[in-house]
Chain A
Amino acid sequence: DQQVKQNSPSLSVQEGRISILNCDYTNSMFDYFLWYKKYPAEGPTFLISISSIKDKNEDGRFTVFLNKSAKHLSLHIVPSQPGDSAVYFCAASGGNQFYFGTGTSLTVIP
């Protein structure tokens, strides 16, 4: 059973606009959430994280929002750039395990 879900396998956004990537989780015990970016033939690169005691964390063009009551987190990229085109994975951790979503492929159109 998938504990972390990314229901949109792909997303296309115009350059300069906002990209919003969504992630849902089922386990309320998760206390740390991460977003990774992955290019083909490379390992995922850490982007940004948030702990469960916060509801927002911002780093440059990337902002992660956490809604604990809805068990939902999202990654906002503003403004989107063509170099942001990649697969984005969200992950949640609690205790001794990590759980990853299946990824959303973002395409930023110039």
Chain B
Amino acid sequence: GAVVSQHPSWVICKSGTSVKIECRSLDFQATTMFWYRQFPKQSLMLMATSNEGSKATYEQGVEKDKFLINHASLTLSTLTVTSAHPEDSSFYICSAGLAGINNEQFFGPGTRLTVL
């Protein structure tokens, strides 16, 4: 089956620093990837849709200057949390779908960000 990986799986950083999270589709090409934020026992909050070769589409309330998304190739999207603060601590999860297959999404294992 299709595999999506994320790196790093866990990162701890100081307040004010920037953190980059990578999302890769390992055995398929994904023109579109999605970035989510997970709070404990809550829904996955869709942050943005990452489009290869063009700008990401951000959901309402998500600061695009705070969460920079780059979809550099058909297998890689990156999310950079700039000037991270403790309230940014969360699980960040990406997903990618196979073209032409409705609703089938493959999720990455998530990245736990802890901002001190």
Contacts and interface: CB of A to CB of B under 8 A. Distances in A.
Q: Is the interface of B mostly helix, strand, loop or mixed?
A: strand
Interface residues of B, number: 25
Interface residues of A, number: 23
Nearest to A39: B103
B61 interface: no
Nearest to B114: A96
Contacts of B38: 98
Contact of B109 (A89, A99, A103): A99
Q: Is the interface of A mostly helix, strand, loop or mixed?
A: strand
B28 interface: no
A9 B38 CA distance: 24
A40 B43 contact: no
A100 B45 CA distance: 15
Of the listed residues A36, A49, A89, A102, the one surrounded by the most CB atoms of chain B closer than 10 A to its CB is A102
Interface of B: 1, 3, 9-10, 34, 36, 38, 41-46, 91, 93, 95, 102-107, 109-110, 112
